[in-house]
């Protein structure tokens, strides 16, 4: 497992291009299962998770290639000769559950390994199964696999989510496009990645109303066709770099991003004391003065994203004052607290909240990445810390950040990666 070594205390200055969003690319790739022919996906980031999704699609008989001229991902889903998503693949990426709805809609059957938990929580898929059950699917759990089948087409119905589940909404949305009749999804998640999926499905011939709202109405069609789609910019990658400037000082221009997807973070960072200017597809951020501690409460979109909670905690560790950070989405998303404490952060966990007492500075240390966004939090802390920090298990970072070290080194950071 590789390690990275970060020399702290260097300010960031320059420009970073934001890659396509991991959490948009994965459902778009799964959606190709719904229609034969060659789909063309633009701006798909090259990540561990998107590579895992390609292996999963290949295991169904789907073929793909990267187009030389524009690096577009061409996915041909004409031949589907397998409907099983194996444990070996699913255990490395829970988003594999996104193939369940499309396989059932196109093939009438699916066998997908239960994803199993991860560092941040149990990550159940009961909402996915309840929703598919409402669409007429017979589901059973056999040896750790979800087995689903239906004779004929899925049947449109009302699906009501207790919690606005992101991938739950995406799974039911994809399944409903080929169902007979109308499906209404209530309390749907409103993340921008779902809007990206709605646009692609409509390009494929689906009939969907309510994009961007918590109520999606899908009029089922008999078949869909292959289509082109473009992955939206990664709002979590963008937010990670905005927060990094807060930690190191300096200034960055972030290009090919969408500031409208980050309103809650931008408001908070302005409260902290960062200067942020928004363009149509770029952001400029600078830190000149002291950092002010603010309280954070993660919420479903458009609230403060849980995927930026660990990162802003690193920033609050070196801000002036007390910050109460409350995590309302996942039950165990404070794994980064113990690692930040090794660098001198003063954080006390109290149930769903962490109380962060800002310190003047952190010191470099040996720390371990525990999950994707926790590892980004450690990178931010290391950039600001005194001395060198060694972060192990950086494969977590590779899952969701396209060349993070390279992009940061291009704007003044000193990060080196060592193969173990
Ligand atoms: C998506 O996960 C994202 N992943 C996560 O990003 C993100 O943190 C999360 O949404 C919340 O915004 C992808 O899009 C691939 P949920 P998802 O269903 O869909 C509970 C990252 O770092 N729940 O919205 O799995 C669940 O336990 C990842 O990029 C059920 O109880 O999250 C959680 O408490 C991490 N039963 C809450 O709902 C279910 O069937 C929200 O989860 C489904 C979810």
| Domains of the chain and CATH, by start | 3-19+233-418 (3.65.10.10), 22-230 (3.65.10.10)
Q: Is 156 helix (H, G, I), strand (E, B) or coil?
A: coil
The two beta strands, 73-76 and 296-297, are: unpaired
Q: Which of 118, 221, 286, 341 is catalytic?
A: 118
Pocket test for ligand 1, best of 28, 50, 172, 329 (most atoms within 8 A of CB): 329
- 118 is annotated as an active-site residue: yes
What per-residue confidence (pLDDT) applies to 117?
67
Cβ–ligand 1 contact at 364 (below 6 Å): no
Closest ligand 1 atom to the C-alpha of 189? 24
In the numeric block, the tokens 């972030």 are attached to 254
Question: Of 202, 210, 205, 288, which Cα lies nearest the Cα of 249?
Answer: 288
Cβ–ligand 1 contact at 269 (below 6 Å): no
Pick out the chain residues at pLDDT < 50: none
Nearest CA to ligand 1 atom 7: 307
Going across the sheet that includes 228-230, the strands are 63-66, 73-76, 38-42, 228-230
Alpha carbon distances (Å) from 136 to 105, 203, 235: 11, 26, 35
How far, in Å, from the CA of 109 to the mean position of ligand 1? 24
Closest ligand 1 atom to the C-alpha of 331? 34
**Distance of alpha carbon 163 from alpha carbon 168, whole angstroms:** 9
Count CB atoms within 10 A of the CB of residue 228: 13
Instruction: Output b/e per residue, 99-109; b: 16+ Cβ within 10 A.
Output: bbbbbbbbbbb
Closest ligand 1 atom to the C-alpha of 120? 35
Rounded to 5 degrees, what are φ and ψ at 226? -65, 155
Cβ–ligand 1 contact at 52 (below 6 Å): no
Nearest CA to ligand 1 atom 37: 329
Cβ–ligand 1 contact at 400 (below 6 Å): yes
CB 274 within 8 A of CB 246: yes
Cβ–ligand 1 contact at 306 (below 6 Å): yes
Alpha carbon distances (Å) from 233 to 54, 194, 215, 402: 20, 13, 24, 12
What per-residue confidence (pLDDT) applies to 420?
80
What per-residue confidence (pLDDT) applies to 122?
78
Structure tokens at 296: 């954070």
Q: Which residues contact 130 (CB under 8 A, 6 or more apart)?
A: 159
Cβ–ligand 1 contact at 330 (below 6 Å): yes
Cβ–ligand 1 contact at 124 (below 6 Å): yes
Supply the pTM of this predicted model: 0.98
Nearest CA to ligand 1 atom 41: 165
How far, in Å, from the CA of 96 to the mean position of ligand 1? 13
Q: Is 49 helix (H, G, I), strand (E, B) or coil?
A: helix
Q: Which residues pair with 184 in a beta bridge?
A: 158, 217
**Distance of alpha carbon 24 from alpha carbon 166, whole angstroms:** 11
Q: Is 192 helix (H, G, I), strand (E, B) or coil?
A: helix
Instruction: Output b/e per residue, 404-414; b: 16+ Cβ within 10 A.
Output: bbebbeebebe
CA angle 125, 37, 203 (to 5 degrees): 70
């Amino acid at each position: 497992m590789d390690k990275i070594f970060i020399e702290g205390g260097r300010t960031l200055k320059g420009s970073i291009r934001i890659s396509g969003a991991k959490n948009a690319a994965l459902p778009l790739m799964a959606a190709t299962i719904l229609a034969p022919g060659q789909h063309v996906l633009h701006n798909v980031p090259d990540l561990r998770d998107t590579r895992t999704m390609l292996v999963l699609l290949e295991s169904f008989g789907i073929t793909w290639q990267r187009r030389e001229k524009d690096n577009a991902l061409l996915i041909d889903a004409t031949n589907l000769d397998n409907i099983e998503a194996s444990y070996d693949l699913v255990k490395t990426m829970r988003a594999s559950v996104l193939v369940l709805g499309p396989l059932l809609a196109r093939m009438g059957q699916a066998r997908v390994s239960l994803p199993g938990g991860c560092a941040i929580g149990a990550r159940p898929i009961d909402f996915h199964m309840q929703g598919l059950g409402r669409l007429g699917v017979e589901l059973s759990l056999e040896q750790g696999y979800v087995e689903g089948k239906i004779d004929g087409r899925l049947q449109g119905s009302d699906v009501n989510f207790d919690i606005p589940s992101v991938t739950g909404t995406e799974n039911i949305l994809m399944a409903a496009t080929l169902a007979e009749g109308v499906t209404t999804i209530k309390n749907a998640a409103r993340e921008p990645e779902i809007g990206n999926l709605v646009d692609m499905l409509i390009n494929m011939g689906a009939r969907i109303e309510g994009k961007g709202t918590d109520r999606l109405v899908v009029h089922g069609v008999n078949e869909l066709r292959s289509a082109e789609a473009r992955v939206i910019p990664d709002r979590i990658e963008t937010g990670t770099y905005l927060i990094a400037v807060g930690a190191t000082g300096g200034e960055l221009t972030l290009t090919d991003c969408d500031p409208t997807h980050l309103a809650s973070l931008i408001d908070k960072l302005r409260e902290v004391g960062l200067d942020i200017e928004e363009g149509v597809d770029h952001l400029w951020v600078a830190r000149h003065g002291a950092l002010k501690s603010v309280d954070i409460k993660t919420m479903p979109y458009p609230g403060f994203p849980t995927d930026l909670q660990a990162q802003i905690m690193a920033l609050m560790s070196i801000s002036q004052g007390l910050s109460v950070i409350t995590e309302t989405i996942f039950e165990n998303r404070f794994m980064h607290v113990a690692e930040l404490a090794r660098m001198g952060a003063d954080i006390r966990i109290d149930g769903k909240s962490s109380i962060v007492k800002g310190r003047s500075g952190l010191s470099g240390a040996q720390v371990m990445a525990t999950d994707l966004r926790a590892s980004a939090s450690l990178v931010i802390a290391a950039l600001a810390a005194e001395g060198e920090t060694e972060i192990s298990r950086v494969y977590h970072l590779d899952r969701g950040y396209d060349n993070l070290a390279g992009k940061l080194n291009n704007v003044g950071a000193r990060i080196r990666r060592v193969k173990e």
